[in-house]
Structure 1
């Protein structure tokens, strides 16, 4: 049975609430067991506010996992009675980082099989003295993974991104044959070993309207994207494109023609993805030496503590973390990205 560590995210955000909701509605599953890495006092407060009969139960690696409880590895003892929902502090920022660091350590030590992360605040991360632009980059550094990528995964659509957190005006300068080819390779490998797809079919979106239309609207497709596709094909990868961005998402989602779409920038992929999977999408970090999935939303400080947050994305993310871990075990490849 896989043991999946759920990092609590920012204690002042909706992470604690969606965790309690997840355990409240969870049905027993023989394939995996979830463990929370976080703050038992904050989770207890959430249980009280949501009138949940489950109680946090302290857990350590190697201990039996109690039934009808929320097993939690206690990594912080924040003052739960004075914490203000939606208002992160330096202490909550340090706590959310400690959950992530411990989760990575436990997976690397084979005490957990994967981690599923609840949302953190990028501003709080910076205020705590960390220079990472986000979760993904922090995990890449902690696992010493130089080649990584973001995939947004849902039942109807999967997308991966060549560029992630950068200004739109910087996108074309960051594109290169190497960057596109690297993402095609990582995506193909992950679809095979993480998702169990024997022969992945990959589509690549252009960066310009109409995929440049014979350089009328830009030449990045001809100079950067198409050469990467040709090289990937020579390596035996089933990849096609570049396609006009305004049609390829419909083709993939409606007809299932492709298993994933390579996107050139953040919103190109996430706008159509969230249109289909706003509540149940999962963020998967490709290229890491460990298995990591995440909810597909932020800390939602504006609704924290109001009792209205949904746990759909967390439910899907925990399940997918277990599936990926099992697929890697079947292929005897804990780190599918080792060269």
Structure 2
């Protein structure tokens, strides 16, 4: 058994998050020796009953409530450690946005993040949240990435801007890192600056070097059709993106571009590049999600700990039905375990 667990936050309890956590632990029982689930005990117990065949061995699945993650090391074989986050909750209705569900999801994220920052956990894997529920609960952050960045910056005693982070979405054969995340398209265009693109390239290069690549091949996508066609379709490539690529190369990074965004992802999947830096959210995420949500992983780059997540949402339309797939969550857990090996310290 590892010295410290990987924590899994339950996600929005009205969505499929709690369900896919238990499905993952049923499909891969060995993971019970690696993880602790962070969330509301009543909501997690309800989800644990979904999809269980009557009179099967799993009807006796043992959920052991923990006071601290370290207690997980003493659990009996096959038991699942659950760490209550926040006040006990009456399980909300499946598939409905509510402030109560948003608060419970945020409490699990905050508690798991603090444990990771304190070194009490190897990594944090986050099940899906619902942004409307988070907002209804009064959370000032639009999603996981921004909340995690704020918590980590506060822990280090610096403003959030001093701890730049980036979202990376990956599936077998393709990884893409975003210059901007959850902002309007108009704001995303304004974020395409030389400094912003260069910082993204640096964070991307550092992540892949830590993962074992001596010289990651970083392809930088253009913003405009055909990467601007020499200024005919816009000047962002000339005035912002190309200077960032040149600066990165001067620093020893194997960056190239700006490449036409309609072909660069295909080329990366064919093996020409290790990762693509995309200029905005949908430009980078659509190609990855076309490869299938079942194997997609969201990784936050730049944090002082490992954080991964499945590449899909709360799926309110099927929540509570027992039909949700755990494949993407399993991929996220595997990515966390690989990035935070047993006995390792904090990893960014």
TM-score higher than 0.5: yes
The correspondence for 1:305, drawn from 315, 320, 334, is: 320
Determine if contact 2:298/2:311 at 8 Å carries over to the other structure: yes
Q: Distance in 2 between matches of 1:107 and 1:322?
A: 14
Match of 1:323 in 2: 338
Shift of residue 196 of structure 1?
2.0
Determine if contact 1:203/1:261 at 8 Å carries over to the other structure: yes
Determine if contact 1:10/1:92 at 8 Å carries over to the other structure: yes
Shift of residue 328 of structure 1?
10
Q: Distance in 1 between matches of 2:80 and 2:51?
A: 14
Shift of residue 104 of structure 1?
1.1
Shift of residue 165 of structure 1?
1.2
Determine if contact 2:51/2:323 at 8 Å carries over to the other structure: no
Unmatched tracts of structure 1, length 5 or more:
none
Match of 2:165 in 1: 148
Is 1:246 equivalent to 2:247 in the alignment? no
Q: Distance in 1 between matches of 2:22 and 2:199?
A: 39
Q: Distance in 1 between matches of 2:183 and 2:121?
A: 32
Is 1:87 equivalent to 2:88 in the alignment? no
Q: Distance in 2 between matches of 1:44 and 1:87?
A: 19
State TM-score, norm by structure 2: 0.90
Q: Distance in 2 between matches of 1:58 and 1:21?
A: 19
Q: Matched residue of 1:271: which SS?
A: helix
Which digits, 9 at most, give the CA deviation of each residue in 1:285-316, with x for residues without a partner? Answer: 01111211111111111111111111111101
Determine if contact 2:204/2:301 at 8 Å carries over to the other structure: yes
Shift of residue 170 of structure 1?
2.7
Q: Matched residue of 1:204: which SS?
A: strand
Determine if contact 1:140/1:288 at 8 Å carries over to the other structure: yes
Match of 2:250 in 1: 234
Match of 2:63 in 1: 56
Match of 1:122 in 2: 131
- Cα gap change, 1:179/1:328 in structure 2, threshold over 3 Å: closer, same or farther? farther
Q: Distance in 2 between matches of 1:65 and 1:109?
A: 22
The correspondence for 1:14, drawn from 12, 16, 40, is: 16
Match of 1:25 in 2: 27
Is 1:107 equivalent to 2:122 in the alignment? no
Determine if contact 1:280/1:312 at 8 Å carries over to the other structure: yes
Shift of residue 79 of structure 1?
2.0
Determine if contact 1:47/1:55 at 8 Å carries over to the other structure: no
Is 1:67 equivalent to 2:77 in the alignment? yes
Shift of residue 40 of structure 1?
2.2
Q: Distance in 2 between matches of 1:192 and 1:118?
A: 27
Is 1:190 equivalent to 2:197 in the alignment? no
Q: Distance in 2 between matches of 1:174 and 1:268?
A: 14
Q: Matched residue of 2:314: which SS?
A: coil
Deviates more, 1:70-79 or 1:243-252: 70-79
Shift of residue 205 of structure 1?
0.6
Unmatched tracts of structure 2, length 5 or more:
53-57, 154-159
The correspondence for 2:278, drawn from 263, 267, 283, is: 263
Q: For 1:169-248, list aligned pairs within 5 A.
A: 169-193=186-210, 195-248=211-264
- Cα gap change, 1:111/1:273 in structure 2, threshold over 3 Å: closer, same or farther? same
Deviating above 6 A after TM superposition, structure 1's stretches of 4 or more consecutive aligned residues are none
Q: Matched residue of 2:205: which SS?
A: helix
Determine if contact 1:12/1:92 at 8 Å carries over to the other structure: yes
Q: Distance in 1 between matches of 2:101 and 2:42?
A: 13
Shift of residue 109 of structure 1?
1.9
Q: Matched residue of 2:208: which SS?
A: helix
The root-mean-square deviation of aligned C-alpha atoms, in Å, is 1.8
